[in-house]
Amino acid sequence: MSSFFREVLWQRLRRNRMAMAGAAIVLTMFLLALLASVIGRDPGAIDIAHRLQPPGFDYPFGTDDLGRDVFVRILYGARISLLVGFVAVGIATFSGILLGALAGYYGRWIDSLIMRFVDIMLCFPAFFLILAVIAFLKPSIWNIMIIIGLTSWMGVARLVRAEFLSLRERDFVLAAQAIGAKDARIIFRHILPNAISPVLVSATLGVAGAILTESALSFLGIGVQPPTPSWGNMLIAGKQTLGTAWWLSVFPGMAILITVLGYNLLGEGIRDAMDPRIKD
């Protein structure tokens, strides 16, 4: 993207209040995750004498049934959620860009082969496919990130393919081919920068989806395993005491809600800013 386009994009994005609210939420969560070890206690510190303490001055979000600080565990859980979101989306985006670019640029049998594979992958419900794969693997954060990434690239591939089909006939591409530029240079140097806009939107929204998926897997007990704090396994732990210790479920649930909302608002704002049909 040219510097002029980036400047225009930033100006339009800055005027979108919902997008700025989403960006503020995302930045706040990111900073809290980075500063968790500085502003909090040990997330695994057990203090039976202070078990199931309600929210107060010493424990802003209360304590769990082992006396662990819920606020500190939510901060460390933010690290897990953001790590899963970024790594999984990075895997999905890389895979989608590579396959979508090959399909859109070369067309013919390569396009048919890749898109039929995409169609097959889309036939399986993503969450149940993840469950099936995890059933044969040891539950761990790295397995979860890889599996989520490898089962969520299809949308990116279709977006990139559509952009490449439109851009490969443009004059600047034909000129690059005429002077003998190699296919790899044309794909990654000339076409891809002009096709990255929808990918950026998809990646932003994909982080929210990956966080929800990880939380759901941890809630079911096949995601991040205790004692490592995760918003999902904190929710399932709080389920047992929902009637007497509401804070064990409410605060992790609010963390998931606010974080996902922030990424969705930011993604929608980026999409509006990049859409030339929407007037300022």
> pLDDT tens digit string along 143-157?
888 888 888 899 899
Q: Which residue, among 96, 89, 128, 92, has the nearest Cα to 114 in the 3D structure? A: 96
Give the pLDDT score at 7.
64
- Here the CATH number for the domain that contains residue 253 is 1.10.3720.10
Give the pLDDT score at 278.
54
Residue 249 covered by a domain: yes
Q: Which residue, among 225, 220, 237, has the nearest Cα to 68 in the 3D structure? A: 237
Residue 40: pLDDT over 70 = no
Total domains present in the chain: 1
Residue 280 covered by a domain: no
Residue 35 covered by a domain: yes
d(CA 77, CA 97): 30
Residue 8 covered by a domain: yes
Could you tell me what percent of the chain has a pLDDT over 70? 94
Give the pLDDT score at 6.
59
* Structural domain harbouring 248: 3-274
Residue 71 covered by a domain: yes
Residue 99 covered by a domain: yes
Residue 279 covered by a domain: no
Q: Which residues pair with 63 in a beta bridge?
A: 69
Give the pLDDT score at 53.
85
Mean pLDDT of 170-175: 83
d(CA 83, CA 146): 12
